[in-house]
Structure 1
């Protein structure tokens, strides 16, 4: 009996591996790529969920012609309920309102909630619903984007989802650090195009994007990825650095290519800082990064564990001249599985303020050093070994 169970387990694991590999091959042959868009716009940065939600909810309440929303995750708590009520109120006024979430990330939007949205006139759809063929691969393929477009004039894009966690409502995580942008100008059309493409894939319905005649003061690029291109894009960023690289990410599981580029940058005299959370919100993600961080630390990198809440920001800054703020983590899942969207900013005044905020968070961090490495728990060391096998999913 035991032998039979072991054989069945082995067969099941082999089937999952085959499913994943064939699914990945098929995906790489047919990615949903969108062109990187050079555009202009104006922007406001949020690093606090309360301020973000206050402005986002008010902008939706003031909408006059259209509200299109995509969030990877919408929770089922009082913040989420307030958010959904704002959408329902707008739809009741007769304004077209479309809400889309990832099928796994939005699982708390149960049938009752969805029916209530529909009765109010809100159009709802799930993105990236798992199915056959390649079920195991597709259940790992998530749409991790967070985009809102209002009247074709105002856009929101960044790392925050919707829920009380993101305003420090979790006793476990405390204060939640993330970055989100409110944008105006032509860049709104660029992010709207991405959101509406997701809506088309989820529903089959094509919606014409709103356009604006407003001009933007600052150069921007919007880059949507579908599990391809991002590794090379991040590598190019790293290789372009002359003096300084600042990386902030909740997860750090680089590829061999990126690890090599980071080490080469240090050897070229570039100062590398990496900021990640001390707490982990998923099993094995912290442990998966430790071997890479240890190698970079001994190579000369400055590594910091944010310890004043949970660090969820996804940012890369190069030489004080370029900043990438988006949804993509510095991990294999964002590189090879998820749909992501990143915004590139080139305004040195803005980047100077962002850099200052980054080092304020570094001041609230614990150094990753020989002392920490020697004192880490046995369970952490064991999980590091297990995490080696889980890297493709982390």
Structure 2
């Protein structure tokens, strides 16, 4: 009887998880949130290394006079995280209004004790995307992957950096950390505020509140794209279909939908040069193996793939024809396309795009060509992991 019960449980659990995921996905699609923004003016600074990013970010936090609104996917309990939280507590004690949102799963190390300490200092705190019933399994997959900071309505930050020692290159396994993060000024900061406030409403039930109007307007065309799973695929495809000369993609995880991948293959057919950078190292199980078949197919179609070998590559960038680029929180994978909340920044400025293109090409120089490395990788064990990763693609 015990054996029969075990067999029933083994069969029943996958069926229940599959039903939970299917019903949860339908509910998600019925309730997609779409924050529609148009181009606005602004200025920007790009950070690709952790030390200068955190130096600038902390300086802006210390200079805050009125309000700080911050959301991160990951905040940990290490030295840089403690410094960040202590800084916020100090500003709250100075009388600055502070709202802090953290993803409930990504920032699981920030528990109830730390939350009480933050609230006792005067910080308004909320967990984002708390898993719950119904559809617990699906809700566990639905993460808020956005990283946004808005300071006094004047300065905004958005991009790939979270808060933890690895983002400073201090993780001995991952080594140097390459990421792309923007510091924004001008009218565009209003759209980051609106994105933050919409998530704050979902996390707390509190109405959106006021938008602080920046004193500066800026003189570059920028557009915020805030997605909730289901819209990002169309955004990326639209950009790819505009390409006539080249498409450069930087991503830690290359696991596109088949529809998105076919748009890349069509671009190759019309003669567009495609270059992709992914990391040599992997920071999560199976993500590298899930991407290998797509990378192989792309190189077979004439695309070029490079594996960054100077640490870990976490940049999320899409560059089109030296005239348009996208930098944000979204990876080129199924999770960002269909599950996560993401926020991306489209920049329409030739000079910036050309400079970004040069940064991308420099990262290529610190990478190995995929073809040679793929032949070394493709052993029996890798083939088994590729098979497992194929089944797990919706969650990767």
Q: Normalising TM by the smaller chain, what interval?
A: over 0.9
3-state DSSP of counterpart to 2:214: coil
Task: Measure the CA separation in 1 of the matches of 2:87 and 2:191.
Answer: 25
Change (3 A) 1:264 1:111: same
Q: Given the alignment of the two structures, is residue 22 of structure 1 paired with residue 32 of structure 2, yes or no?
A: no
- Aligned position for 2:229: 227
- Aligned position for 1:298: 300
Task: Measure the CA separation in 1 of the matches of 2:130 and 2:212.
Answer: 27
Task: Measure the CA separation in 2 of the matches of 1:186 and 1:295.
Answer: 42
- Aligned position for 2:128: 127
Task: Measure the CA separation in 1 of the matches of 2:378 and 2:28.
Answer: 39
Match 1:358 to one of 357, 360, 365: 360
**Alpha-carbon deviation of 1:130?**
0.4
- Aligned position for 1:390: 392
Task: Measure the CA separation in 2 of the matches of 1:16 and 1:306.
Answer: 36
CA RMSD of aligned residues (A): 1.0
- Aligned position for 2:326: 324
Matches within 5 A, 1:18-57: 18-57=19-58
3-state DSSP of counterpart to 1:193: helix
Task: Measure the CA separation in 1 of the matches of 2:342 and 2:7.
Answer: 38
Task: Measure the CA separation in 2 of the matches of 1:213 and 1:58.
Answer: 19
TM-score normalised by L of structure 1: 0.98
Task: Measure the CA separation in 2 of the matches of 1:277 and 1:381.
Answer: 19
Deviations 1:199-231 (A, max 9, x none): 111011122221124211100110000001111
How many residues align? The count is 394
Task: Measure the CA separation in 2 of the matches of 1:232 and 1:154.
Answer: 29
- Aligned position for 2:151: 150
Task: Measure the CA separation in 2 of the matches of 1:157 and 1:223.
Answer: 11
Task: Measure the CA separation in 2 of the matches of 1:378 and 1:70.
Answer: 42
Matches within 5 A, 1:1-394: 1-206=2-207, 207-369=209-371, 372-394=374-396
3-state DSSP of counterpart to 2:255: coil
Change (3 A) 1:286 1:371: closer
Task: Measure the CA separation in 2 of the matches of 1:179 and 1:48.
Answer: 8
Task: Measure the CA separation in 2 of the matches of 1:13 and 1:298.
Answer: 36
Task: Measure the CA separation in 1 of the matches of 2:215 and 2:63.
Answer: 20
Task: Measure the CA separation in 2 of the matches of 1:95 and 1:64.
Answer: 6
Deviations 1:328-382 (A, max 9, x none): 0000000000000000011111111111111111111111115632553332221
TM-score normalised by L of structure 2: 0.98
Contact (CA 8 Å) 1:37, 1:190: kept in 2 or not? no
Change (3 A) 1:371 1:180: closer
3-state DSSP of counterpart to 1:37: coil
**Alpha-carbon deviation of 1:278?**
0.7
Deviations 1:263-299 (A, max 9, x none): 1111110000010001111100000011111111111
**Alpha-carbon deviation of 1:10?**
1.1
3-state DSSP of counterpart to 1:57: helix
**Alpha-carbon deviation of 1:54?**
0.7
